[in-house]
Structure 1
Amino acid sequence: MTTATGSRLGDLFLGAQLKVGRPLLKAAMKGDPYIDILLGVQDPRPQYAIIREGGPLYRSKGNALVVTSHTLGTEILRDRRLNICHTNGRAPGMQLMERIGWDGSILNLDPPDHTRIRRLAQPAFTPRKIAEYRVAVERICHELLDKAEKQGEFDLIRDYAGPLPIAVIGDMLGVPESEHERFYRHGRVIGSVIDGVKSLSMARDFRRAHSEYLKLFAELIELRRAEPADDLVSVLADAHGEGKVTEHELLALCAVLAVTGFETTTNLIGNGTLALLENPDQWQLFRDDPDLGPKVVEETMRYDSPALQATRIPHEEIELAGQRVKVDEALVVLVGAANHDPEVFRDPDRFDILREGEPDHLSFSGGIHYCIGAPLARMEGDVALRVLAERLPKLRFNGPRRRRSSPVISGLESFPLAVS
C-alpha cells in the first residue's frame, strides 16, 4: 500500500469514527458522568459532583476507576506500584501517540526508560537556568504589551499568552528566531489534537503540521551536531551521539517539550487572567501587591487547572480505598475535581489568592511523573501575570470569550480584552 493510499484510508476511517463513534458512545454509555466528561461538556462540575457521591473509586461504564478525592488522588500519583503503561508496554491513548510520533516520549514511558530520558532534559530546568530565563521572559512580556497598549485592545491568547511561552521554549531548545513563527503555527495545530480530532480537515492539518515539526527538529538536530550551542537540543544531540537516546526518542522529546511547554503556560496565563478579572477583589489585591504573583499562579493552577486528568495503571492486583484493583485497570484521577475537593479545600469554588494552610494542587501531577517543566511554567506565569497587572491595571473584557472543548485541557481559544 502506498503512503498516499494509506493516508487516504486513514482519513476515511477517521471520518467514520467522527460521524458514528461519538453518538454510539453517548448512547451506549448514557447516564455515565465520566463519559459525559470525555465527550466534552463545557462545565464538568455537575459530573464531578455525581462521581464524588459515588464514593472514592467510581467505576465508569467504560470500566475506568475514576477518582475525585484529593487525598486518594495524591496517593495514586505518588504510588510507585502504578504506571503510565499497561503490562503490554502500551499507554492509554498509545494509538494516537504512535500516529503523532510521541510513543517514545516521557509522557508515555515508565522506568527505566522514563528515568533515562528525563535525566537528559532535567539540566534545562534547574533553578539557575530558570533564573536566567526570567530576564528574557520579562523582556518579551513588555514587548508584547507594548503592542497591545498601542492598539488599545488585543486577544490575550493570540497576542500574549500564546507567543510568550513559544518564544521561551523556542530559545530553550535552540530554535532560531527566524523559525519562531513556523514553530508556533505548527505547534498550535499539534497541541489542538490533545482536545481530540474533531474533523477530517483537522486531521489533515495535523498531519501536515506534524510532518513540518519533525522536519524542523531534524534540521535543528543536524545543525547542533555540527555547531553546538548553549541549548537543550545541543545537549540531546550530544547524548544521541553517545548512544544515550535513540533518534526517535530524541525527536519525540523535542516535540513533547515544545508542545507541552507552551500549552500549559498559555492556559495558565489565560485561566489566571480570567479568574482575576471575574473576581475584582482579587484583581485589586494583586494590582496593589504584584509580589503576590506566585500565589496567583498556585491558586490559578488549583482553581482552573490546565490539565484535567491523569491516568495510572497497576501491574499487580492492589487495594485502594478498600477496593481491589485488578491488573491493567485504569485509575483516572480527575485533577479538576481533586483540586476542588471540599474535604481538603475551604470554599473550594472560590478563587482566593491569599489561600494558606491547604495541600498542594495536583495540576503538575505527582511522584516520578511530576511535571519536569513545572518550575518554568510557574516562573512564566508569575512574570506574565505580574507584568500584566503592573502595565494594564484597567484591563477589562472586550467581547465574548471562546473556551476550548476538551476533556483533558482547560483553557481559552480566544480572550478579547481592552486596555482601559
Structure 2
Amino acid sequence: MKPQYWFRWFSVQGLPRLVLRSQARRGHPFAQLMGGRQGFTDPYPLIEQLRAQGRLVKTPIAWASADHELVRAILRDNRFGVRANKNLDLPGPLVRLVERFPLPPNPVEPPSMLVIDPPEHTRMRRPVAAAFTPRAVARLRDRVESVTEELLEELPSGGSADLITAFAAQVPIAIISEMLGFPREDKQMFLNWGDAATPLLDIGISRRAHRTALDAMEVMNDYLDGHIERLRREPGENILSSLVTAGELDTYGLKATASLLMGAGFETTVNLIGNGVVQLLSHPDQLERLRAEPELWPNAVEEVLRIDAPVQTTARSALEDVEIAGIPLRKGNTVVVSLAGANRDPKVFEDPARFDVGRANAKDHLTFSSGVHVCLGASLARMEATYALRALFERFPDMRLAGAPRRRELFTLHGYERLPVRLGRSVRAPQATVV
C-alpha cells in the first residue's frame, strides 16, 4: 500500500475500527451494528436496541438516531451537511492529514455529489439531473424490459441459478453502462470494480479491503481517462457524452460523477432486487396477493425498500451549533442517521417488522434519503426493480430458495452476495407493466 493510502486508512478507517471493536466487545449496540458481523447479517435487533436508548444517542464515534421524524428533519435541515472526512468527529490534525492525501476520483471523495454541500453540490447535480427526470426514465423503460426479458430467456427452465450474478446484477449494470456510454463487453469489469470499491462506504474496514478498493479505483481512473477522451472525439447519445460536451465539469469532476453514477446506479438496485426476491420467497402469502392483485407491484417494491433497505445509513455533520431533540450539538458534530431504523419506526409504521405489500404508507420510507441529497436515481431504481421482480416471478412461478442466501459483508449497502434458487418451470406469462 502506498504510504499516503496507509495514512488515510489509519486516520479514516483504522482508528474507528479499533474503537468500534473495543466497544462492540463491551456490548454497545451501535458498535456491534457498525463493526460486527450482525451488522450485515441481521442489523434490526441492534437497531431496536439503539432506538430504545433514545431519539438521539451519543455513541463512541458520533451521535446516532433511528427516529423517523428526527432522521427526516436532519436530512432536510440546511444546518447539517456532508462536509466531513468520512463523517466522523475526527481530531483536527487527522482531518488535515486526510486532506493532504486525496484518493483517485471516486464516489466517497469530493467533488462527488455524495460528499459535497451546496453551492458546489448544486453545480455538480444540475447537469446530471436531466438524465433522471420522469420523462427521461420513461424513455428507458423499453430498454429495461428488453434487458430483463433477455436475461430471463437465459435462465434454465427447471434448473438452478444464483440470482445475484445471473439476474439482479445484470439488469442495472446493463442500463447504467448504456447511460454512461460504456461498451457492453466491459460490464464484468464494472461489476468487479463495484465489489471492490463499495466497502469504502463503511466505517472501520480492514486495511486489506481498503487496499483492494484503492487498487480498483486506480484501474477505474485510468479506464475513465481513456473513455472520456474517446467521448470528446466521438460523443454518443448518453449522459456522460452530454456532460463532456457541455464543458461544465473538468476531467476530475467528470470521473467523480461517472464513478458515483456507476456505484449508485448499480449497487442500490442490485440489493433492492435481491432483497425483494428473498422477502417474497420468504412470505408466500404476500406473493400470492401480488398474483391476485398485480397492480400492487409498485407498492411491493416500496415495502421492500422500507423493510430491508438496500442503503442502511448515512451521516450528516452540523455546520453550526444547533439543538436537536433538546440536545445541543456543536459545529462539526456528526449524526449517523439510520435509514433502516427510521423505516421501522413504530410511531410511523404499524407492526413495522411485518412485510405487507399492501401497506398504505410504505412509500413513507427514507431509503432514498431526503432533502438536497435525495437520490437522483430513485425513480429509475423503482422502475427497474418493479419490472424485474414482476417479470421474474411471472416467468418462474414455482421458484424457491435452494439454500441459505449469503449476505454481503457490508453494513451501509445491505444486500446479498449469493442467492441460490431452484427456478422451476418457465412459463410465458403476460408481459409485466411498470406502473
Q: TM-score higher than 0.5 here?
A: yes
Q: Contact 1:51–1:58 (CA<8 Å) still a contact in 2?
A: yes
Q: 1:38 aligns with which of 31, 34, 38?
A: 34
Which residue of 2 is the match for residue 3 of structure 1? none
Compare 198-207 and 269-278 and name the one that shifted more. 198-207
Provide the secondary structure at the position in 1 that maps to 2:75: helix
Amino acid at match of 1:52: R
Equivalences for residues 139-218 of structure 1 within 5 A: 139-150=146-157, 152-195=159-202, 202-218=209-225
Q: CA deviation at 1:78?
A: 0.9
Q: CA deviation at 1:39?
A: 0.5
Which residue of 2 is the match for residue 368 of structure 1? 372
Q: Contact 1:269–1:381 (CA<8 Å) still a contact in 2?
A: yes
Amino acid at match of 2:138: A
Q: Contact 1:188–1:259 (CA<8 Å) still a contact in 2?
A: no
TM-score w.r.t. length of structure 2? 0.87
Provide the secondary structure at the position in 2 that maps to 1:149: coil
Q: Contact 2:14–2:205 (CA<8 Å) still a contact in 1?
A: no
Provide the secondary structure at the position in 2 that maps to 1:253: helix
Q: Sort the Cα spacing of 1:326 and 1:204 in 2 relative to 1 into closer, same or farther, 3 A.
A: closer
1:58-104: per-residue Cα shift (whole Å, max 9, x none)?
A: 11122x22111111111111112211114xxx452795994353321
Amino acid at match of 2:35: L
Amino acid at match of 2:34: L
Equivalences for residues 339-418 of structure 1 within 5 A: 339-357=343-361, 360-418=364-422
TM-score w.r.t. length of structure 1? 0.90
Paired with 1:105 and 1:17, the residues of 2 have a C-alpha distance of 18
Which residue of 1 is the match for residue 2 of structure 2? 7
Paired with 2:374 and 2:12, the residues of 1 have a C-alpha distance of 33
Amino acid at match of 1:34: F
Which residue of 1 is the match for residue 53 of structure 2? 54
Which residue of 2 is the match for residue 77 of structure 1? 75
Paired with 2:277 and 2:403, the residues of 1 have a C-alpha distance of 15
Asked if 1:131 corresponds to 2:135, the answer is no
Q: Sort the Cα spacing of 1:234 and 1:61 in 2 relative to 1 into closer, same or farther, 3 A.
A: same
Q: Contact 2:269–2:384 (CA<8 Å) still a contact in 1?
A: yes
Asked if 1:337 corresponds to 2:333, the answer is no
Equivalences for residues 239-258 of structure 1 within 5 A: 239-240=246-247, 244-258=248-262
1:133-163: per-residue Cα shift (whole Å, max 9, x none)?
A: 1111111111111111347111111110111
Q: Sort the Cα spacing of 1:125 and 1:18 in 2 relative to 1 into closer, same or farther, 3 A.
A: closer
Q: CA deviation at 1:8?
A: 6.5
Q: Sort the Cα spacing of 1:373 and 1:216 in 2 relative to 1 into closer, same or farther, 3 A.
A: same
Aligned residues: 408
Q: Contact 2:20–2:34 (CA<8 Å) still a contact in 1?
A: no
Q: 2:242 aligns with which of 235, 243, 251?
A: 235
Equivalences for residues 80-91 of structure 1 within 5 A: 80-86=78-84, 90=85
Q: CA deviation at 1:196?
A: 6.1
Provide the secondary structure at the position in 1 that maps to 2:417: strand
1:298-333: per-residue Cα shift (whole Å, max 9, x none)?
A: 000000001111211111111211121211111121
Amino acid at match of 2:22: A
Q: Sort the Cα spacing of 1:60 and 1:290 in 2 relative to 1 into closer, same or farther, 3 A.
A: same
Q: CA deviation at 1:228?
A: 1.5
Q: Contact 2:349–2:361 (CA<8 Å) still a contact in 1?
A: no
Paired with 1:406 and 1:308, the residues of 2 have a C-alpha distance of 10
Paired with 1:342 and 1:177, the residues of 2 have a C-alpha distance of 45
Q: Contact 1:307–1:363 (CA<8 Å) still a contact in 2?
A: yes
